[in-house]
Amino acid sequence: MREEMRDRGRQDGLSPKQGEGGGEMAFGNGDGQKSGQKGIVPILLIAVGVLFFLVMLVLPLVEVIYRSLKDGLESYMNAVTAENTIAALKVTLIAAVIALAVNTFFGLCASWLLTKFEFPGKHVLSVLIDIPFSISPVIAGLAYIMTFGRMGWATPIVEQINEWLGTDISLVFSIPGVVLATIFVTFPFVSRELIPVMQAQGSKEEEAAVMLGARGLTIFRKVTFPHIKWALLYGIILCAARAFGEFGAVYAVSKARGKTFTLPLEIDALYMAGSADSITQAFAVSSLLVALAIIILILKQIVEYCGKDNR
Amino acid sequence: MRKNTWTRKLAVAALLACTVLVTGCGSGEKKKDSDTIQMTNVSYDPTREFYASYNKIFADYYKEKTGKKVEITQSHGGSGSQARSVLEGNEADVVTLALAHDITLIEDQGLIEEGWLDEFEGNSSPYTSTIVFLVRKGNEKGIKDWEDLTKSGVDVITPDPKSSGGACWNFLAAWEYADRKFGGDEAKIKEFEGDLYKNVLVMDSGARGATTTFVENGQGDVLIAWENEALLTLKEYPDDYELVTPSVSIKAEPSVAIVDENAKKNGTEEVAKEYLQYLYSEDAQKLIGENFYRPSNQDILKTFGETFDLSVEMCTIDDFGGWDQAYEDYFADDKIFDEIYSK
Amino acid sequence: MKNRQRRTRRASVIPGFGLTMGVVVAMLSLLILIPLASILAYSFRMSPGEFWELVTRPNVLQAFATSIGCAFAAAVVNCVFGLILAWILVRYDFFGKRLIDAMIELPFALPTAVAGITLSRMYSDQGAMGKFLARLGIEASYTKVGIVIALIFVGIPFVVRAIQPVLEKLPKEYEEAGMMLGASPFYVFRRVLLPELMPPLLTGFGLALARGIGEYGSVIYISGNSEREGTQVVSYVIMQKLNSGSVDYEGAAAIALVLLLISFFLLLLINVNQIAAGRRAK
């Protein structure tokens, strides 16, 4: 699949164009053979890369799975089907789905704004959007509490709105709070995937469409969307992965186990319960999250693969 | 004209954004079931098992007494951060925290009415605990008392007093021991504490983290721990650890209180009071003992004579002028702890 | 410059400026900026003198030094291995390549607390990796080495994913031509590839650094949090302010504000770097 990517690169004029059949041979490399894949250097590099991967990423995973199965399959199943775990799974999914919807909508708007127009303050805006990427989850949680918590300055406003609407929505220590915190930490994920693609695409096609008299939404649907749909899906998947795993920010606004706990919080609760059994259960629930993550990452691979086929 | 459409679009866009947000948040609306009473108990880490069992016996008792069903949501975490969450809007009907001070924090914000300390028996502490040592089987370093923790070559695990309220008690218990030993010579006491904290190998952020470091990760020779936590660890790993009770320790009184403002709002005042009162019943006191807290009922405490070392001399936080004073004197920035630790 | 002017003029044809601007500004303000502004507001409750005294306290300064230093070290390590990983994923075929490619983002998805707990055990002197390192005379858990390991774990996807797309677009004929001309692989790497890969490498480095400086969950279990050993990170000091006997919101907000400013400037630098790279590519 990478070859296809590179082939597209060639056609885009990044490298000398090659003939249909013969040109390919002239370089002496079929698609199966990669450049310089002989000699000691590639083998060394692969060895180093794979070793790093095994030690840094696979070993912690093996540890999680090993410890989750320490007490046998039955207690593993008990842990992952426990009432609290199921409740936490539900909250996690609700929060992730809403965060995805909001961030996708935002990501589309932001990438359109930042790639199709020039305006003063554009770079600052783009940096502001990226802030949640690098912010400490501790700060994210603190910021929400200071704004929407009982002592927060925005709380009277929220209460006023509740009064008008006749509702009783609280933005902290409740599911909406969890959703907001999740949105916060995953905010730039979609826009960040879209912006480079839309930048590379340029605006010529959209401009042509405008000249032909097309309306905004039609242009987006017919012209822009086909180019960015795979990048969009990729961003959504990344966003989902991050949403499932968020701990710090959600921890600040969610305290009720079995009600507003997400999976990472449930894991923490089990681990902190401190008995040998509950620690094993904590790892069992972690393995659930790992499985979720792996499913998502495999999905991501499929999306990448399809994306390269269909373009 | 052009500008006009521009602003209109801007308004539409802002509205659209808000709609997305509101629909996003609307899903979390609370459902209130009329025939079951919902109640939240905000507690701290080591009480998980106890309240899981207690909530069951209380629900049975309450059903029998009033015919109403009660469902209790538990919340656990570090005691200080749990108290903070109540200040920040976590709608607890009752709090059952590690230290009276954490409840005072909530009282200061007006959520709990004054005089809560006398609302229930024994300073509103249905159970107490104390500070002990947990050592590895065989006790190779021969740890018997506080003094042994200052010897070179002994690795101590205790949490950070500047981040964990419970860890302050470890410091104060050692202080009390040194105070008695040196007859109040503050320079010597400080030196003693300095030597002790020099031996601290890992300073976790909280009591649970410290236990994990000692038990799961196998660090250190001795863990300064709450008695209930140490006994729980002993139950889990009877062949790996031993409990050492020092000659002098400090009596910790985890306190309970009704969060009046929330309870009034949720209409749970009556059940909340019943919930905390029932902690003093015979059944609950037995359950407390089984979960390694010292029951406040002296008769029942005596039946657990095999579990607890009842001979230990205990000072209380009042000997340090109450918690607020103690915190100010010992743990605030640049005060005694900083002084002995950064030396 | 000319290019840019043309773009401005052209861009005005495309509809949706007002709409997207409105949505972006409204959502950004509501969700991100207003909450963050609260931090600013809280820290302004202190007088400038108090603020300065707090953020220059030895333990706070030390925490900043630890966070920045360890995040920097981790980002450097990640750049080296991230480059190698991206390179072998793009240029070579080997067994398990797909799997590696799929799993690079795992640290995003794994809750940081799980990562922290797992790593602290693995690298303590009782754990698998810890025993091995102990034989080499390296203590990992409860030292700065441990912090760096945790930060390598959380930072690696940033670097790999920054480099990969650029490398994919870079034709392999570049380095082949160099090789044919008889240059050593190292020379080709330094003179031909590195200049091309520098902008994404810097982006990845910056993102990993920014993330590492603020990291909390994965670090606190492995760091030991000792003021004396200098293993307290900034996020930990913020939590200390909040969870200690006196809940100190102002102090926490003040330190958070400094941390926020650091991330903002790092992101700004990354952005400038990307813009510069974009211009060069044109």
pLDDT digits (tens, 9 = 90+) for B127-163: 999 999 999 999 999 999 999 999 999 999 999 888 8
> How far is it, in rounded angstroms, from Cα A305 to Cα A299?
10
Q: For residue B45, how many C-alpha atoms fall within 13 Å in the half-sphere facing its CB?
A: 27
Among chain B residues, CA nearest to A177? B25
The pLDDT of residue B16 is 59
Give the residue extent of every domain in chain A.
33-68, 73-310
Q: Is residue C18 part of a domain?
A: no
Mean of pLDDT over chain B? 87
Q: Please enumerate residues of C whose Cβ is less than 8 A from a Cβ of B.
A: 17-23, 25-27, 30-31, 57-58, 117, 120-121, 124-127, 141-142, 220-221, 224-228, 236, 239-240, 242-247
CA distance A303 to A307: 6
- CB-based burial of residue B37 (10 Å sphere; 0-12 exposed, 13-18 middle, 19+ buried)? buried
* Amino acid of residue B281: S
What's the total number of domains in chain C?
1
Q: What is the mean pLDDT of residues A254-270?
A: 88
Residue A193: per-residue pLDDT: 85
The mean pLDDT of A101-118, rounded to a whole number, is 92
Query: What pLDDT score was predicted for residue C281?
Result: 62
- pLDDT for position A184: 92
Confidence (pLDDT) at B10: 58
pLDDT of A21 over the 50 cut = no
Query: What pLDDT does residue C245 have?
Result: 67
Provide mean pLDDT across the span C122-134: 88
- Which of A221, A194, A226 has its CA nearest to residue A110? A194
Which range marks the domain in which residue C234 is found?
Answer: 44-281
C116: closest chain B residue by CA: B209
Higher pLDDT pick, A307 / C151: C151
A33-88 confidence digits (pLDDT tens): 444 456 788 888 999 999 999 998 889 888 888 888 988 898 899 889 999 999 99
Helix (H) or strand (E) holding B74: strand B69-75
Q: Looking at domain B129-251+312-342, what is its CATH homologous superfamily?
A: Periplasmic binding protein-like II (3.40.190.10)
Q: How many CB atoms neighbour CB A213 within 10 A?
A: 7
State what percent of residues in chain C have pLDDT above 70: 94
Lowest mean pLDDT among A94-98, A217-221, C169-173: C169-173
What average pLDDT score do residues A252-261 get?
A: 88
Check CB contact under 8 Å for B209 and C19: no
**Closest C-alpha to A63, from C98, C232, C153, C226:** C153
Q: What is the CATH number of the domain that holds C246?
A: 1.10.3720.10
Taking 60 as the threshold, does the pLDDT of residue A263 lie above it? yes
**ipTM for the complex?**
0.85
Cβ pair C165, C86 in contact under 8 A: no
Whole-number Å distance between alpha carbons of C222 and C143 = 8
| Model confidence at B76: pLDDT above 80 | yes
Neighboring chain B residues of A149 at a CB cutoff of 8 Å: 87-89
Residues of chain B above pLDDT 90, percent:
59
For residues B187-200, one letter each, b for 16 or more C-beta atoms within 10 angstroms of the residue's C-beta and e for the rest, the string is eebbbbbebbbebb
Closest CA to C159 of C193, C109, C198: C198
- C1 or C187: which carries more pLDDT confidence? C187
Domain boundaries, chain B: 36-125+253-303, 129-251+312-342
Q: How far is A144 from chain C (nearest CA, A)?
A: 6
pLDDT at C274: 80
Structure confidence at residue C56 (pLDDT): 92
Task: Determine whether domain A73-310 maps to CATH 1.10.3720.10.
Answer: yes
Hey, what amino acid is at A204?
Answer: K
Q: For residue C95, tell me if it sits in a domain.
A: yes
Q: Who's near B99: CB < 8 A, 6+ residues apart?
A: B79, B165, B166, B252, B254, B255, B323
Least Cα distance to C64 among C252, C209, C255 occurs for: C255
Tens digits of residue pLDDT in C233-247: 999 999 888 887 678
Given a cut of 50, whether residue A287 has pLDDT beyond it is yes
Residue C81 domain flag: yes
User: pLDDT tens, B156-195?
Assistant: 999 988 888 788 889 999 999 999 999 999 999 999 999 9
Question: What SS3 class is residue A57?
Answer: helix
**Chain centre to alpha carbon of residue C136:** 29
Average pLDDT over residues B310-316: 90
Overall average pLDDT of the B202-224 stretch: 88
Instruction: Specify the pLDDT at position A261.
Output: 92
pLDDT beyond 90 at A23: no
From chain B, the residues in CB contact with C58 under 8 A are 342
Q: Across all residues in chain A, what is the average pLDDT?
A: 81
CATH number corresponding to B36-125+253-303: 3.40.190.10
- pLDDT of the residue at C282: 54
Tell me the shortest Cα–Cα distance from B45 to chain A, in angstroms.
7
Determine the longest span between alpha carbons in chain B, in angstroms.
Answer: 89
Q: How far is C106 from chain A (nearest CA, A)?
A: 7
pLDDT score of A224: 87
Q: Is the pLDDT of residue A20 over 70?
A: no
Per-residue pLDDT averaged across B189-202, rounded? Answer: 93
- Which residues, in sequence order, are CB contacts of B62 under 8 Å at separation 6+? B68, B70, B271, B274, B275, B278
User: pLDDT above 90 covers what percent of chain A?
Assistant: 25
Asked if residue A31 has pLDDT above 50, the reply is: no
**pLDDT reading at B222 higher than 90:** yes
Chains in contact with chain B (at least 3 beta-carbon pairs closer than 8 A): A, C
**Token pair of C57, please?**
């306290």
Give the per-residue pLDDT at C111.
Answer: 80
Instruction: Write out residues 150-189 of C within 8 Å (CB-CB) of A.
Output: 152-153, 156, 165, 168-173, 175-176, 179, 185
Predicted confidence band at B20 (pLDDT cuts at 50, 70, 90)?
A: low
Over chain C, what is the mean pLDDT?
Answer: 86
